[in-house]
Structure 1
Amino acid sequence: MVSTYVSYLAVARNLNTSLSNVASQATVSRDSAYYKENIDKVTTVDEFMGDYKLYSYAMKAYGLDDMTYAKAFMKKVLESDLSDSSSFANSLSDSRYAEFAAAFKFSGETKTAQSDVQRDNLTDAYETSFDTEAEDIADETDYFEENISSITSVDDFLSSSRLKNYALTAFGLSTEYTSSSFLKQVLTSDLDDSDSFVNQLGDDVYVSLAKAFNFNEDGSIDGDVMSEDQISLVTSGYAVASSTIASSDTGEAYDTYFAAQIGNITSVDQLMNDDKLVDYLRTAYGLTDDETDNYISAALKSADIADAIGLSDLHDAFNFDEDGALADGDTAQTSEQTATTTAAFDENYQVLIANTDTEDAVDNYTTRIASVTSIDDFLVSNADDDDDDNDDLPEMWEMALRAYGIDSTEVSKSQVRKILESDPTDSKSYVNSLNDDRFVAFRKAFNFDSDGDVTVPLQAMSESVVDDYAAYYKQNKIRYLDGDELTEATDAADDEITYFREQMATITTASEFLADDRLVSLVLEAKGLDPDDVTSDQLKKMFSSDLDDEDSYVNKLDDNRFAELVGAFNFDQDGNISAEPTGTVQQRGDVLETIDSYVRMTLEDDQGDSNTGVRLALYFQRKAPEISNAYDILGDSALFEFFTTTFNLSSYVSNMDVDKQAEMVSNFIDIKDLSDPDKVDNLIKRFTAMYDMANGTGTTSTALSILTGSATISADTLLTMAQLKSG
């Protein structure tokens, strides 16, 4: 009769061939195909258990087929919260139940408008945008001041788009729609001629623009193109027009602009046509947005109206008559009135500076985004919540737009809604039709579906899979350790896991992932693979493989763990994030792992039909690298049988105190040896010999009988011997 060890070797030495043969069996192939095609259709535990083919397949894959009948029990396992150490699955001594629960995600991924990483990236970008804005203003102003003196003609000025756009921005004019030919006529107009081009436009803004330069009617210049005062007017106007937050620099620019312009004002209408001057007055006299420009205009003209609406101070600061004009010889303000207005502005503007701390805006955003469940929630106004202190803070959608370099005036709320309902991965979607990367980045910062409801964040690796890989990695890094070594390894693993969680939320392509050695090492080690055994080129081939093609590179590898690893990511074959592979209750990698486990379990069962010893040997070979301590052996009936058979232990061992049993296991087996294939093989040799001896199969030498003892030894005696051995 063939010995158990020889039978075991026949399978183990050609394991991949053996597994392929089992996988190609008609029944196995058909059942595996059914599982792969239908598991993605399941959304609840009841649906899963209601499909017996799916349920029984999975139960066998995880070695739980003898519990298939216990549906109520298994439902509690599948509904367990594995993050809770006291949950039902975690409370069971047999770790297979927790492994089974971990393979399925019936609790579902967390639906949220933004993940923590998405939110933090947005708020960081929002805060940074103000520093960037100030730097950009300073850079553009430096360029203007350094280069304007080199201009020798109007054509020379207009040919420099950077200088031209700077001036247009300073006066609130469009840089996109104001043509150079039109500007040339404005800038070369005779300001003293009422019939000149600029004076005929009837727009004080263009007159102010023309006054800021010294071009002759033929476009030439006599002397400097701009005086220092003219340059100061333009640079202050640019700073005011470009700033979106109150700051001391912007306040100074406002003062400079007001002082330079107020002397040129000859009517209320002219003043009201200058948005920057109107904003200055609003701040100086404490006017809100509810008080329209008409209020200001009326108050400037009429003392009675000003008194009636509480704007007497504003009226008294100017010298306009009831028609909004100035009497001969009068100016809009005397120097004293200008000083009074400036002082009022400076005092109120300091309050604005104090109230524009971005921390308040970020705190408000962080609090509110956590409760957002739809686009409607996201677009709701601060004024609609119960906290009046938030009314002056920017809206969530305005903050989000700014974070991605988009001015809220560029799009309406309805457009924002269409953008957020778009699929950024669809080249024909609304957001992609805008041909603007800013809007695509804005869209990808949120997790809304086409109906406007929150959904699960689409990441390179789903959050639950990240959790699984983090747990596997840590488990593998601290296995066999204790004391200071355990503490150090735990801290190091936690650091890597923190990095892994943060970075995986930012990865958008397979190339980005493969370029980060720390991420690659972690996922390989989580699967029990040595990073040094895999090259970058091999990994690139794996991640460009088609998992559905049996002949693809990764599917042709001897180790199925590589295909399972690739399947753990939500990348398409081109290496881009895609929603298609994410799965429902089981991720693609878990599906592959379940199928691989089913084939392996079938192989072991088939061998067990002929020789139970071969099944136990194959099982031990598979589980040995996962064993962390003696209790893992005691909690697994098959492993415990392997152990007791190997060392010819009495059946009474199981009646001993569990801690004494664990002590015995540790004294017979150095758990660390189970990570060494050669030492595992030696144990299997001993097991098969003892199995054959106990079951009358194969042949047993006299030497082996002497070595192992042909008689059964009592548990107490064995424990004493083990203690003497370890002493």
Structure 2
Amino acid sequence: MVYTYIDYNLITRDMKLSLQRTADQAQVARETAYYKENIGKVTSIDAFMDDYQLYSYAMKAHGLEDMTYAKAFMRKVLESDLSDDTSYANKLTDDRYRNFAMAFSFSQGTAVVQSSAQEEDVIGLYKQTMADQEAAVGTDTAYFNAAMDKITTVDQLWQNDKLKNYVLTAYGFDPKYMSYEHFKGIVTSDVNDSSSYVNTQAASYKQGLQARIDSIVSTASAEDLANSASSARKQIAQYQSAINNAPDYTTLAAAFNFQTDGTLSAGDLPMTNDQKSTTSTSYIFAQPRTSSSAALSTKSYYESAMANVTSISGIKSNSTLFSYIVTAYGLPSGTLTTTFENIVTSDLSDPNSYANTQGGQYSAVYKKIAADFNFQADGTLVSGKAAQTTTQMASTSAGWMALYNDKQDAADETLISSFQTLMQTVTDVDSFLADTKITSLVLKAFGLENEGDTARKLKKVLTSDLSDPKSYANSLKDSRYTDLVKAFNFNADGSLGTPTLAQSESEILLTAKSYVVAKSQFGTADDKTKATEESKYYSSTMEKVESLDDFLSNKRLVDFVLVANGLDPDKVEPGYLRKMFESDLDDPKNFVNTEPDTRYRELVASFNFNTEGQIVKPEEGIQTRRGLLETQDLYYNQTLEEQEGEDNAGVRLALYFRRMAGGIGNAYDILADSALLQVIQTAFSIPEEMSSADVDVQYAYINRVLDTQDLQDPAKLEKLLVRFASLYDIDNNSDVSPAEIIMSGSGGTGISADTLLSLTQLRTGGA
């Protein structure tokens, strides 16, 4: 009887069933149950190695049983940084050690406040938020100009929050602190009437403050009044400052045409075009950022207003015009109006004039400004001459359009640079919240800068567990806060945690390495280079995947994962793969667990998606789900091979070769493994004496009889192993019974008597 072939065929015709029978054996089941129950409790290499039952199970699974004693050696393997090609495990020629280290994550999870993808997302969100704010200025202004003409009473204006807030912001008032009565009193006042509400209120306010000053003066001692550090002097200074900076409601009152009862006269609008233009310009300049539409609006205002300027005082007294000019010529923001006056009243033909002798690094700018304005030495204009000609005005406006947002862009870049630098110093949530530069950018990015949140509240948000529907961040029912939590990796105690990714760091690394191996195994150096570049794309992009849909919609990522797991992308339907991911890995009857090809199960297990396609934080432990399944499956295979080998070493060799064939890239891989070499020597009748030949000679010989790339073809691999099994029995003097061989075949995997006879003749040299 050809024992090897029959036994091998009986096992592999349904490999999944054969492995399940092995798993169901009482001792194997006990050992596996212990491993699954306890491996998740291990948090250190010492704890792992001290538990002999766990450690020996893993070592046997990875084919390292004979090295179980070498704990010092294996510790160095487990401590290796697999992302570093020069690390200990990566430098070992035997891939079993690297694969063993890869199955565990002692050094793969990095606790960081943010991953590079998270940091990139926050910075991108900040930039987008700033861009949205700029765009909103134009949108709000367009609404203001269109909607204001439809207002007929003060009450209508007050009830339209969007319009009301626009107007109040334009004139420097906080809508939160403005009452209806006060607002109505102001906008229905006649600024030219000293007894109107707006004028009497202002006078009353200042008189009240002055009365308090007078009271302090009358009661304080001469010594207190003379001492600048005394409380009396400080109070007087505060009240005097309040008087000097008292809100000027007259500009707001002058912006409207309401009658004292809050209505409009027949044919009147609440605002003339000039009033609307002044208001919208003031609103634009009240914003922290200037948009392109706002810049154009300001340009229009400047060019219109400059036509009415008759002396330098017309610019000095108009902050909008002056700011426009300062920006247009790139002058420092602190430039004084007197400096501007000195420049534009200079005679450029006089080498000793102010514009020709002053300015330092801005000397060329001073001369350019002097040339672009037509004021005389006394600040007036020659009769009939404009402050700027059309050409001069165009020059100024060109400067404005080129430079209006340079300062805010520079400020953004400075803030972003500071954020990136300071984030590297964050050690916990408290140090994060303590830095105002960090929180300034973050709160603006998520639209939370005006919420007035305390550090205590933000800490509770950032340390929330989003998987808990009752967590603090979830209880706020505001997506801005949950998005904020997702952008950082703080643990519940405020310490730094690891990012919650679609794939853990160790899995991304393993998938990337497997892809490079698969693509370069039989390829050229150029293929390997391309594969390495593709793996970089995969590693960086996977950090940004937020759901199963997100992953499956990116065919480049999906194909990468399939290739890395030894699957042909052209033969895998997207819907089929989705069914795999939506299966419950813990249910043995679920779709992914009933699929004969176990590669799908390991592929799904390498991701952190739940059955709904959402990313969930993996359970703490030293093994990912894939690592645990891989170790378990390897243990079953090793046990099956050992048990079969007790009765027939040929069966063990065939099963081992079948399992390892996918990793054979060339003849050197075969020569490096005595078990693989024995199968090839037997299958191709290579004399044992050949083992004494030079390695390169053996390499060349194997390549003559075998194309190692054929081992990736299941049909060709099976044909080779049938050949090996039959010749192994002949070599070991087993009786040949063609009838039993034929009876043992299944679905075309058997071998005919004629074929066996041919093999026997090849072995014996018969014709």
Out of 628, 645, 649, the position equivalent to 1:591 is 628
SS of corresponding position for 1:423: coil
Whether the aligned pair in 1 keeps the contact of 2:115 and 2:499 (CA below 8 Å) is yes
Tell me what 1:460 maps to.
502
Deviation at 1:628, TM superposition (A): 1.0
The one-letter code matched in structure 1 to 2:634 is: S
- What residue number does 1:386 align with? none
Q: Is the 8 A contact 1:246 1:352 kept in 2?
A: no
- Per-residue displacement from partner, 1:203-245 (whole Å, max 9, x unpaired)? 8466543432212233322322113342233223322333258
Check whether the contact 2:134–2:290 (CA below 8 A) recurs between aligned residues.
no
Paired with 1:423 and 1:687, the residues of 2 have a C-alpha distance of 57
Instruction: Give a deviation string over 1:578-621, Cα, whole Å, max 9, x none.
Output: 22x34422111111111111112222222112111111111111
Structure 1 counterpart SS, 2:522:
coil
The answer to whether the 8 Å contact 2:138/2:291 transfers is: no
Mapping for residues 302-313 of structure 1, pairs under 5 Å = none
For residues 528-553 of structure 1, give each alpha carbon's deviation from its aligned partner in whole angstroms, at most 9, with x where no partner exists. Answer: 12234333333333222222222222
Q: Return 179-188 or 416-425, whichever deviates more.
A: 179-188
Match of 2:555 among 497, 517, 523: 517
Mapped contact 1:245–1:356 kept (Cα < 8 A): no
Instruction: Out of 449-458 and 6-15, give the one that drifted further.
Output: 449-458
Separation (CA, whole Å) in 2 of partners of 1:400 and 1:251 = 30
Aligned to 1:365: 419
Deviation readout 1:480-526 (Å, 9 max, x if unpaired): 112xxx51x33543454333223321222223222322222221221
Q: Which range is displaced more, 667-676 or 556-565?
A: 556-565
SS in 1 for 2:721: helix
> Would the aligned equivalents of 2:667 and 2:702 in 1 still touch at CA under 8 Å?
yes
Match of 2:110 in 1: 110
Give structure 2 stretches of 5+ with no counterpart.
206-245, 307-322, 337-378, 381-386, 388-395, 738-755
Give the distance between the partners of 1:351 and 1:523, measured in 2 at CA. 45
Pairing 1:477–2:477 present = no
1:541 aligns with 2:595: no
Matched with 1:551 is 589
Contact 2:134 2:291 in 1 (8 A): no
**Cα distance in 1, alignment partners of residues 179 and 689 from structure 2:** 98
> What is aligned with 1:89?
89
Report the 3-state secondary structure (helix = DSSP H, G, I; strand = E; otherwise coil) of the residue aligned with 2:260. coil
Which of 659, 668, 681 matches 1:622?
659
Q: Over residues 325-354 of structure 1, what are the superposed CA-to-partner deviations in whole Å (9 max), with x where a residue is unaligned? A: xxxxxxxxxx99xx9xxx9xx9xx999928
Counterpart of 1:669 in structure 2 is 706
- The answer as to whether partners of 1:93 and 1:635 remain within 8 angstroms in 2 is no
Structure 2 counterpart of 1:212: 255
- Residue type matched to 1:662 in 2? Y
How far apart in 1 are the matches of 2:671 and 2:124?
A: 51
Residue 721 of structure 2: which of 664, 669, 684 is its match? Answer: 684
Equivalent residues of 2:4, 2:648 under 8 A apart: yes
Report the secondary structure of 1:576's partner residue: coil
Answer yes or no: is 1:232 the counterpart of 2:232. Answer: no
User: What's the secondary structure of 1:356's corresponding residue?
Assistant: helix
2:763 aligns with one of 708, 718, 726: 708
- Return the offset for 1:457: 0.9
Cα distance in 1 for residues equivalent to 2:67 and 2:534: 38
TM-aligned CA deviation for residue 363 of structure 1: 2.2
Residue-by-residue CA offset, 1:356-382 (whole Å, 9 max, x unaligned): 34323222222221232222332344x
The corresponding residue for 1:130 is: 130
Output the TM-score relative to the length of structure 2.
Answer: 0.73
Distance 1:114 1:471 in 2: 24
Structure 1 residue 456, shift from structure 2 partner: 0.9
Q: Percent identity?
A: 40
Q: Is the 8 A contact 1:560 1:596 kept in 2?
A: no
Structure 2: distance between partners of 1:536 and 1:662: 41
Closer, same or farther in 2 for the Cα pair 1:178/1:650, shift >3 Å? farther
User: Are 2:541 and 1:503 equivalent residues in the alignment?
Assistant: yes
CA positional deviation for 1:691: 1.1
How far, CA to CA, are the matches of 1:457 and 1:477 in structure 2?
29
Task: With a CA cutoff of 8 Å and minimum separation of 6, indicate the structure with the bigger relative contact order.
Answer: 2
- Go from structure 1 to structure 2 and tell me whether the alpha carbon gap of 1:105 and 1:169 turns closer, same or farther (over 3 Å shift): same
Which range is displaced more, 421-430 or 619-628?
A: 421-430
Alpha-carbon distance in 1 for matches of 2:521, 2:473 = 49
Q: Relative to 1, partners in 2 of residues 1:233 and 1:427: Cα closer, same or farther, differing over 3 Å?
A: farther
1:59 aligns with 2:59: yes
Give distance in 1, aligned partners of 2:180 and 2:629: 64
CA displacement at 1:155 relative to structure 2: 4.2
Highest CA radius of gyration, 1 or 2?
2
CA distance in 2 between counterparts of 1:459 and 1:358 reads 29
TM-fit CA distance, 1:395? 0.4
The reply to whether residue 528 of structure 1 matches residue 566 of structure 2 is yes
Counterparts of 2:296 and 2:126, CA distance in 1: 19
State how far apart, in whole Å, the 2-side matches of 1:533 and 1:181 are. Answer: 74
* Residues 603-614 of structure 1 mapped to structure 2, 5 A cutoff: 603-614=640-651
1:60/1:598 contact within 8 Å kept: yes
SS in structure 1 at match of 2:139: helix
Hey, what does 1:721 align to over in structure 2?
none
Q: Report matched runs for 1:139-538 at 5 Å.
A: 139-175=139-175, 183-184=183-184, 187-188=187-188, 192=193, 194=195, 196=197, 204=247, 208-222=251-265, 223-244=268-289, 249=295, 284=334, 353=407, 356-381=410-435, 395-407=437-449, 410-482=452-524, 486-487=525-526, 489-538=527-576
Contact kept? 1:240, 1:250, Cα under 8 Å: no
Which consecutive residues of structure 1, in runs of 5 or more, have no partner in the other structure? 261-275, 287-334, 382-393, 712-727
Contact 2:546 2:615 in 1 (8 A): yes
User: Which digits, 9 at most, give the CA deviation of each residue in 1:95-114, with x for residues without a partner?
Assistant: 21211111112214111111
> In the alignment, is the contact (CA less than 8 A) between 1:469 and 1:526 conserved in 2?
yes
Cα root mean square deviation, aligned: 3.6
Residue range with higher mean Cα deviation, 41-50 or 643-652: 643-652
